[in-house]
Amino acid sequence: MCEDGEQECNAVTDENVCGDSYAGNYSEFTPQNCSDTQYTFYTPANASTHTSPVLFNVTITSNSSLPLNCDLQVDAATEATNIISSSPSTFAHLLNLSIGAHSWYVNCSDATTSATRTLTVCVANYTCSGYGACAENLTAACNAVMDENTCGYTYTGDYTEFSRAPCTLPPTQASITMSTMIFLLVILFFLYMADSLLPTKSPQVKELFRYAYVILLVIGIIAVIGMAFGV
């Protein structure tokens, strides 16, 4: 068969007529030229993976009588036809293909056929596989993804397309915040006891207790906000 302008050897002759059977590999012999039509492939690369549509780009160089009718065959079906009226000429088509494996080649009206090549159409299905630090409102943002379909593409999207995940505060941060709350409760308890046990209080003492309650209340609110937002 003539492919890419060359024909592989498939039979040998012993010029010394020794009578031995040939047990070698025919690939040791140089293919012979069988056509003046040559095919140069650009896209898609052989055995590559793509999303759909797929761009088929082939340059055809020929010394045969022009014009030539050249067909793009995908899975043994003609998907496109080009009339080659000059040499070299680019054969380019954008085709929508189904998900899965495909084979393709180009053949021309001078009875030449390119080598058969393969490709795979794959659609990535990204899911979050890692999250950052626990932050806003006890949730963590996605910072790593994996492709469930293992297409082999590089993720170039925005991680914000994935939902945040619930999380808990780091132990050190949580313990500090809890210690602050316990300390405030103890101080409030002693202030309450002092306020209750003192039989009479001057206006200055009453004002002092009022300021102490307000300050502790503000500190308590800040501590609660810190626990809620993980700061």
Whether the predicted pLDDT of 33 surpasses 60: no
Distance (Å, rounded) from C-alpha 122 to C-alpha 117? 17
Over residues 85-108, mean pLDDT: 93
pLDDT at res. 80: 93
**Whether the predicted pLDDT of 24 surpasses 60:** yes
Quote the CA–CA distance of 209 and 132 in Å, as a whole number.
44
Residue 68: alpha-carbon gap to chain centroid: 41
Lowest mean pLDDT across 21-35, 47-61, 120-134, 141-155: 21-35
Q: Do 138 and 166 meet the contact criterion of CB atoms below 8 Å apart?
A: yes
Residue holding tokens 């040559």?
A: 38
HEC profile of the chain: CEECCEECCCCCCCCCCCCCCCCCCHHHCCCEECCCEEEEEEECCCCEEECCCEEEEEEEEECCCCCEEEEEEECCEEEEEEEECCCCEEEEEEECCCCEEEEEEEEECCCCECCCEEEEECCCCEEEEEECCCCHHHEECEEEEEECCCCCCCCCCCHHHCCCEECCCCHHHHHHHHHHHHHHHHHHHHHHHHHHHCCCCCHHHHHHHHHHHHHHHHHHHHHHHHHHHCC
CA 6/CA 36 separation, integer angstroms: 9
Q: Give the model's pLDDT for residue 195.
A: 63
Q: Is the pLDDT of residue 227 over 90?
A: no
pLDDT over 90 (residue 171): no
pLDDT confidence tier of residue 26, bands split at 50, 70 and 90: confident
Model pLDDT, residue 160: 94
Overall average pLDDT of the 202-206 stretch: 69
Contact present, 91 and 57 (Cβ < 8 Å): yes
Q: Does residue 32 surpass a pLDDT of 70?
A: no
In the structure, what pLDDT confidence band is assigned to residue 7 with cuts at 50, 70 and 90?
Answer: low
Q: What is the mean pLDDT of the chain?
A: 82
| Residues 6 or more apart whose Cβ sits within 8 Å of residue 112 | 2, 3, 5, 34, 35, 37
Mean predicted confidence (pLDDT) in 39-56: 94
**Among residues of the chain, what percentage have pLDDT more than 70?**
73
Q: What is the pLDDT of residue 181?
A: 67
Residue 27 confidence (pLDDT): 78
With bands split at pLDDT 50, 70 and 90, how would you rate the model's confidence at 22?
Answer: confident
Beta bridge partners of residue 40, listed in sequence order: 59
